[in-house]
Amino acid sequence: MTLTMTATTTSNRALKVLIVDDETLARARLRTLLGDCQSPAARVEGEAANATQAIEQLRRQPVDVVLLDIHMPGADGLTLAATLRSLPQAPAVVFVTAHAEHAVQAFELEAVDYLTKPVRLERLQKSLQKVERLAQATKGLEPDSPEEVLVIQERGRTERVPLSEVIYLKAELKYITVRTLAKRYILDGTISDLEEKHPTHFMRIHRNALVARRAVRALEKHFDSQEGEGWAVRLNGVEELLLVSRRQLTAVRDVIGV
């Protein structure tokens, strides 16, 4: 699955936020925390106590991100998140809940982050930074900017592969494997050059691999026959795990929000 975000943002304006929680005090606390966020800044466009109210507000006023509780009367937050993905201007979703056990389901719905109550300002700020990076990487810094592509030449044909479709790039022998949901391509070049050219799209996780920031789903303990005990990332849309070097582990944790 490929996450599509039509709401765009830049560091020059505040992220538009909808708070969805059936508890009045919880909404008030989030509103206060959002008022203290600075990089990026956030502006509360509305509040909703249930899924029905949230959908009604979003149809009138699209937002960049929904801060969403899970346990609510009527349709719960997981159901609402699935519905939001079908909206013409689908917002990013950050779950804010007292229940940690739903994290796997949340990330299967391509949530940007999963926060447990009580939420700390620093942790909320990191979530908003992830929303902003994802919006920039998916749509470019301006709404009408041309989409960046990789130009790939294979077997006498030239193909333009949008960066938004690339899940990871992996150096193997003299070439780079470009992985999308549909297929693998072979690209002539270096990982370092691609990392330098497209820092908002990709992050390095290993000396031989870059992954799309939007595609990072989970960080897991992993044993590799050559490198031993370590860590690997799970990416949306592919079954394989990619190793994370010790040097890059902190950066990956920051993206996931661990």
**In the CATH hierarchy, which fold is given to the domain comprising 15-139?**
Rossmann fold (3.40.50)
Q: Which CATH code, of 2.60.120.10, 3.40.50.10140, 3.40.50.1380, 2.40.50.1020, is assigned to 149-256?
A: 2.40.50.1020
Residue 146: band (very low, low, confident or very high) from pLDDT cuts 50, 70, 90 = low
Q: Of 13-17, 24-28, 46-50, 225-229, where does mean pLDDT reach its minimum?
A: 225-229
| Chain segment 110-141, per-residue pLDDT in tens | 888 899 999 999 999 999 998 988 877 655 44
Domains 15-139 and 149-256 fall in the same CATH topology:
no
pLDDT at 39: 82
* Average pLDDT of the segment spanning 206-211: 94
Burial (0-12, 13-18, 19+ Cβ within 10 Å), 39: exposed
Q: Where are the domains of the chain?
A: 15-139, 149-256
Residue 205: band (very low, low, confident or very high) from pLDDT cuts 50, 70, 90 = very high
* Average pLDDT of the segment spanning 219-237: 85
Q: With 60 as the cut, is the pLDDT of residue 21 above it?
A: yes
Q: Average pLDDT of the chain?
A: 85
